[in-house]
Amino acid sequence: MAKTRTTLTIDEDILRAVKVRAARTGKGDSEVIEDAVRQALGLDLLDRLWARNDLDETAAVEVAVEAQHRTRRRTR
């Protein structure tokens, strides 16, 4: 996955906690921050679901479309 460099302004206590977590886990600061953001946005759940997924793309699209149709029927 491509990475983009950015600048953040965050609380000093948070940065200190990031550095401690990075040191304890052997990860870099950026990786710790990225992991936390992924978790906060629910992206880690999506990654785990995709890792367990054994559907091919066509079947996955069919399931998604079916779910959309069921949801639309309930909201009308």
Q: Mind listing the pLDDT tens digit for each residue in 10-50?
A: 999 999 999 999 999 999 999 999 999 988 887 777 677 77
Look at 26 and 64; give whichever has higher pLDDT: 26
Q: Which two tokens stand for residue 5?
A: 């460099």
Residue 47: what residue type?
D
Q: What is the pLDDT of residue 72?
A: 79
Q: What is the pLDDT of residue 23?
A: 98
Q: What is the pLDDT of residue 73?
A: 66
The answer for 54, left when phi > 0, alpha when psi is -120 to 50, beta otherwise, is alpha
Q: What is the pTM of this model?
A: 0.59
Q: How far is CA 27 from CA 14, 23, 24, 34, in A?
A: 16, 7, 8, 11
Q: What is the pLDDT of residue 68?
A: 87
